[in-house]
């Protein structure tokens, strides 16, 4: 097992703190969220698959190619010497697609934080270099040897069960944090993809593809595209509601359920001025949605209960820490300006503002978590973590379903059997026909 050094983690915490305090100088939105190592790798996989498709291939990419490009990406962005292996074809286009995804989602990665730290830090108070490029590279590129099939060792049943339990908890925690991330940054397309059909709302690949096309058509985020559609349906009115031919019409119920659930979370966010209480309510609401209909022995239920308790405790700790920091006059600089005292929604806006500060601190910590050791599990297309349609990976979700060519919808086995039946020699009939056979219709 690889043991991670605490030095890069502490150094990155210092960089993120400076970034949150001074990000208004370089970004248009203070609600920008951070992709950790795992998020960066998933975005890179999507970028590579997208480039492959644009060059006449399929929306697919080999794991070995992703890991090779991952190494090049980190060394390139950290301005370290390139590896001995040659760059992949279309690497520059892959890098640009990767950056476009981050900009479109109002997100940055940990290497961007490292790059911005130099220009944002204050010479008098902030350390000169809390973490070196080499240490950051080693932290982000950590991987497990067993991710290569030829080097993997068969697992015992107990270790396999333990691995699966850990896998379930990681996936469940990612869903919790993705819901909270949407409250902070609704443009985060990755967070929306990880929550759209968890719990199941019958919103699979086809629904996600229709949302993507609607977002591309209106040049908006995925979240704004689907919420605009649902709001238009709710308001109705002749000439205002979406046309009956709109592809999203097929998914009205699922999309409405998703937006309604997020509306409930938004109401919770603004109704309490105490971030600890508000955060606990948010986590409890997400947990209730995830465990609905699951039996007592379900692995997802156990993981959701454990994750909810951990997040509630951490939110309370972060709130207490920020209160102490504010009392000392240090401030945190994590959220938009405090609402005016005479504002109509002063109490609601104030409560939401303080809770957002805590949620952003929580999400920043999640981004600094050590990377998943087994990259094959992280990027697998058939990762059996959550039940039903929730088992689809991000790559599988972003891939558009195959368009029907009008061919036979029968399974291949049935088509082969039918062809064999046609090729079988037919036995000649031994029936003696009468002299009036010509007047009868053939059997």
Kindly report the CATH number assigned to the domain that includes residue 378.
1.10.486.10
Alpha helices by DSSP H, listed for 221-292, are: 222-235, 252-271, 275-291
**Domain identity same for 202 and 55:** no
CA distance 231 to 220: 15
Of 77, 108, 142, the one marking the end of a domain is 142
Name the least confident of 96-105, 122-131, 332-341. 332-341
Q: For helices 110-120 and 37-54, what crossing angle results, to 10°?
A: 110
**Domain identity same for 179 and 125:** no
**Domain identity same for 321 and 189:** yes
- Is 437 part of any domain? no
Q: b or e along 402-438 (b: 16 or more beta carbons within 10 Å of the residue's beta carbon)?
A: eeeeeeeeeeeeeeeeeeeeeeeeeeeeeeeeeeeee
pTM: 0.81
Q: Specify the number of domains making up the chain.
A: 2
* pLDDT number for residue 347: 46
- Is 133 part of any domain? yes
**Domain identity same for 78 and 220:** no
Name the DSSP letter for residue 437: G
* pLDDT number for residue 296: 83
SS3 410: coil
**Domain identity same for 21 and 115:** yes
Average confidence (pLDDT) over 161-174: 78
Cis ω on the peptide bond leading into residue 199 (within 30° of 0)?
yes
Residue 41's domain spans which residues? 1-142
- Is 368 part of any domain? yes
**Domain identity same for 112 and 201:** no
* pLDDT number for residue 96: 96
Residues 6+ apart with CB under 8 A from 195: 175, 178, 179, 182, 258
- Is 40 part of any domain? yes
**Domain identity same for 320 and 358:** yes
Name the least confident of 1-5, 163-167, 323-327, 394-398. 1-5
* pLDDT number for residue 408: 45
Whether the predicted pLDDT of 102 surpasses 70: yes
**Domain identity same for 269 and 383:** yes
Residue 343 pLDDT class (50, 70, 90 cuts):
very low
* pLDDT number for residue 436: 52
Average confidence (pLDDT) over 225-242: 83
* pLDDT number for residue 243: 80
Name the least confident of 67-71, 167-171, 324-328, 436-440. 436-440
Q: How many CA atoms does the CB half-sphere of 162 hold within 13 Å? A: 5
Of 83, 111, 142, the one marking the end of a domain is 142
Residue 235 pLDDT class (50, 70, 90 cuts):
confident
- Is 151 part of any domain? no
**Domain identity same for 177 and 119:** no
- Is 424 part of any domain? no
- Is 152 part of any domain? no
**Domain identity same for 27 and 121:** yes
**Domain identity same for 269 and 126:** no
What SS3 string covers 209-220? HHHHHHHHHHCC
**Domain identity same for 65 and 213:** no
- Is 275 part of any domain? yes
* pLDDT number for residue 350: 53
């Amino acid at each position: 097992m690889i043991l991670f050094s605490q030095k890069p983690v502490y150094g990155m915490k210092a960089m993120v703190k400076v970034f949150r305090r001074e990000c208004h100088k370089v970004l248009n939105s203070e609600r920008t969220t951070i992709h950790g190592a795992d998020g960066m790798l998933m975005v890179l996989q999507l970028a590579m698959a997208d480039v492959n498709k644009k060059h006449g291939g399929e929306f697919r990419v080999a794991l070995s190619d992703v890991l090779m490009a991952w190494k090049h990406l980190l060394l390139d962005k950290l301005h370290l010497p390139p590896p001995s292996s040659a760059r992949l074809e279309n690497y520059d286009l892959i890098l640009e697609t990767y950056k476009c995804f981050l900009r479109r989602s109002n997100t940055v990665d940990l290497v961007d934080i490292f790059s911005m730290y130099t220009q944002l830090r204050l010479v008098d108070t902030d350390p000169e270099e809390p973490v070196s490029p080499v240490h950051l590279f080693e932290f982000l590129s950590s991987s497990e040897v067993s991710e290569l099939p030829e080097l993997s060792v068969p697992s015992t049943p107990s270790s396999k069960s333990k691995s699966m339990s850990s896998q379930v908890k990681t996936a469940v925690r990612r869903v919790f944090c993705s819901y909270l991330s949407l409250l902070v940054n609704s443009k985060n397309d990755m967070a929306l993809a990880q929550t759209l059909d968890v719990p199941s709302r019958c919103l699979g690949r086809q629904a996600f593809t229709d949302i993507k096309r609607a977002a591309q058509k209106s040049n908006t985020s995925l979240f704004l595209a689907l919420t605009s559609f649902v709001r238009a349906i709710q308001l109705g009115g002749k000439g205002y509601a979406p046309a009956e031919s709109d592809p999203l019409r097929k998914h009205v119920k699922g999309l409405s359920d998703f937006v309604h659930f997020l509306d409930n979370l938004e109401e919770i966010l603004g109704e309490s001025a105490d971030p600890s209480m508000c955060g606990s309510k948010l986590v409890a609401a997400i947990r209730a949605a995830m465990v609905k209909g699951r039996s007592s022995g379900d692995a997802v239920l156990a993981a959701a209960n454990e994750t909810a308790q951990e997040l509630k405790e951490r939110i309370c700790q972060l709130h207490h820490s920020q209160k102490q920091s504010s009392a000392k006059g240090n401030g945190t600089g994590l959220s938009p300006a405090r609402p005016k005292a005479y504002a109509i929604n002063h109490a609601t806006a104030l409560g939401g503002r303080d809770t957002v500060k805590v949620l952003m601190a929580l999400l920043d910590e999640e981004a600094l978590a050590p990377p998943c050791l087994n990259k094959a599990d992280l990027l697998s297309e058939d990762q059996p973590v959550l039940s039903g349609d929730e088992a689809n990976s991000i790559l599988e979700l972003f891939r558009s379903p195959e368009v029907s060519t009008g061919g036979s919808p029968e399974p291949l086995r049935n088509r082969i059997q039918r062809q064999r039946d046609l090729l079988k020699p037919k036995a000649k009939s031994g029936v003696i026909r009468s002299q009036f056979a010509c007047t009868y219709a053939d059997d």
